[in-house]
């Protein structure tokens, strides 16, 4: 019994590491860098709705994978192409918004990306669907099927929430290091370029 319990915990630990590697890094999609960029450009408080929207979008994406609907949707190549185009367009739009964001002192009247923009970015992130499908379908924890899927989904959700928040927090901390308008502009433009480059790089891996 002890050996079985230990093996389950080891499997959960391994799965958690895999989830962190796939979901918390700048890939599989641009959400992490977008959050860091938004935090750097607009601050943590003004970017929180964007974070909530991304989280809700990823929850929907994961629910589609867990329910099996992702497999059905994946059989329609046109849908995957449409989601990819939406995701790319949104990233370019966000990169433009962040890259052209005014210096910190001049942001009082700036409209920041809200939860709607974050939701679309999360739910249209085709790379996230692939990551969820790989994690939820390729790992075995050694528990009953119901508990296993629920546990894996919960771990994925916690990884997304915790590490996306950390990316947002890191961006907002960097913002405080670039108070000068010139350096604030350079930081925003750098994040915008990184977002575009990361998206381009991620699609070369498919």
Give the span between the Cα atoms of 42 and 145, in whole angstroms. 43
State the pLDDT confidence band at 4, using cuts at 50, 70 and 90: very low
% of the chain with per-residue pLDDT over 90: 13
Specify the pLDDT at position 164: 92
In the chain, the number of structural domains is 1
Residue listed under structure tokens 């350079």: 186
Encoded tokens for 187 = 């930081």
What is the pLDDT confidence band of residue 53, given thresholds at 50, 70 and 90?
very high
Q: What is the mean pLDDT of residues 94-111?
A: 62
Structure tokens at 179: 């108070």
pLDDT of residue 1: 45
Q: Residue 176 is part of which domain span? A: 1-204
pLDDT of res. 57: 92
């Amino acid at each position: 019994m002890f050996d079985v319990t230990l093996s389950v915990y080891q499997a959960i630990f391994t799965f958690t590491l895999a989830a962190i590697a796939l979901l918390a890094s700048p890939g599989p999609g641009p959400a992490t860098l977008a959050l860091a960029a938004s935090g750097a450009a607009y601050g943590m408080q003004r970017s929180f709705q964007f974070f909530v929207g991304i989280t809700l979008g990823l929850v929907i994406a994961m629910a589609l994978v867990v329910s099996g609907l992702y497999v059905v949707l994946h059989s329609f190549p046109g849908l995957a192409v449409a989601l990819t185009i939406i995701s790319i367009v949104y990233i370019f739009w966000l990169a433009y918004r962040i890259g052209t964001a005014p210096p910190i002192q001049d942001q009082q009247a700036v409209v920041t990306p809200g939860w709607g923009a974050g939701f679309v970015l999360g739910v249209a992130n085709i790379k996230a669907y692939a990551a969820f499908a790989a994690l939820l379908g390729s790992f075995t924890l050694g528990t009953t099927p119901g508990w296993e899927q629920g546990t894996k989904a919960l771990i994925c959700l916690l990884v997304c929430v915790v590490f996306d928040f950390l990316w947002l927090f890191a961006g907002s901390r960097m913002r405080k290091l670039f108070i000068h308008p010139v350096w604030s502009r350079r930081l925003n433009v750098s994040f915008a370029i990184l977002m575009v480059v990361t998206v381009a790089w991620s699609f070369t891996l498919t």
